Amino acid sequence: MNVSFRQLRLFLALAETGTVSGAARVMHVTQPTASMQLREITEAVGLPLYELIARRIHLTDAGVELAKGLTRGYLRLAVVSTAQYFIPRLLGSLCASHPNIDVALQVLNRDGVLARMRENQDDLYIMSMPPTDIALEDRVFMSNPLVVIAPLNHRMVARKTIALRDLREDLFILRERGSGTRMAVDAHFKGAKFKPAVRLELGSNEAIREAVAAGLGVSVVSAHALGPNPKTQHRVTVLPVEGFPVPSQWHIVWHKGKRLSPVAQVFGRHLETQARGLR
């Protein structure tokens, strides 16, 4: 079923108001537009969802099931650890509009998410580097820029531009091997023919931020892990290194051929819509 989040909300408004005109008013569209979109939903589902009796809409059994699925249900979601900086906000806005939806959220490193994915334990997965050996449906929903961070007293904080080779004397604190961030960073360094002097490999962005702030070295992390003011929040600064930010992307994926529940479909559409405000 390929139905937009707004179309699903329109169908829910139809179920609540009992009329096409009422649903149109709720969604702030014209009645002809509402009628057209409701026909598209019916065609996408492949079953009659409602019928008109005595000038009032009555949901069919399939329509009742769809409406129930949109207002209550269970979503299983597994995300890599860096996604924890924005996923709660997106889940919060979803649950605010669908208070009867229950969410089971697993926050793990990439290997942990992959293990759950191979066992098909969740509805949806969010990561920056999806595997290539599993048949997946894949949607990019947001950018994930990777930046170089350093302690506030780093010798180059006043520079407007920094060549990557100028960091060859610095010690690097990087994410563990196998993480999406580390894979992207290693690929970038290899392409630039730069070999970092790695002092530490750590399994969390929090540990990396603290180590950098303490003067143990520099690092490359997702900009999402820093917040709007890294200097005051985490006592680190972003260095203007040439070739950075390294472009990366956030993906929402699920097994190819998997039939997503209405709740999972709503969340997928909600994610794509709401993430535009977090870029």
Helix, strand counts (H, E) of the chain = 10, 12
pLDDT digits (tens, 9 = 90+) for 122-144: 999 999 999 999 999 999 999 99
Q: How confident is the model at residue 8 (pLDDT cuts 50, 70, 90)?
A: confident
Percent of the chain with pLDDT over 70: 95
Write down the pLDDT at residue 66: 80
Please report, rounded to a whole number, the percentage of residues in the chain having pLDDT higher than 90: 63
Q: Is the pLDDT of residue 3 over 70?
A: no
**What would the pLDDT profile of 159-207 be if each residue is shown by its tens digit?**
999 999 999 999 999 999 999 999 999 999 999 999 999 999 999 999 9
Each residue's pLDDT tens digit, 235-266: 999 999 999 999 999 999 999 988 887 788 87
The gap from C-alpha 11 to its chain's centroid, in whole angstroms, comes to: 25
Would you tell me how many other CB atoms lie within 10 Å of the CB of residue 15? Answer: 20
pLDDT in tens, 44-53: 888 888 988 8
Q: What is the mean pLDDT of residues 75-89?
A: 93
pLDDT(7) > 90: no
Residue 64 has pLDDT above 70, yes or no: yes
Peptide bond into 247 cis (omega under 30): no
Angstrom distance (rounded) from CA 17 to CA 189: 57
Query: How many other C-beta atoms lie within 10 A of the C-beta of residue 127?
Result: 23
pLDDT at residue 115 above 80? yes
The model carries a pTM of 0.76
Q: What is the pLDDT of residue 153?
A: 96
Q: Over range 107-128, report the average pLDDT.
A: 96
C-beta separation of 221 from 181 below 8 A: yes
Domains, the chain, ordered by start: 5-59 (1.10.10.10), 72-143+249-278 (3.40.190.10), 146-239 (3.40.190.10)
pLDDT at 101: 80
**Cα 192 to Cα 156, 165, 243, distances in angstroms:** 20, 9, 9
pLDDT band at 70 (very low <50, low <70, confident <90, very high): low
Task: Of 17-31, 163-177, 215-229, 239-253, give the lowest mean pLDDT range.
Answer: 17-31
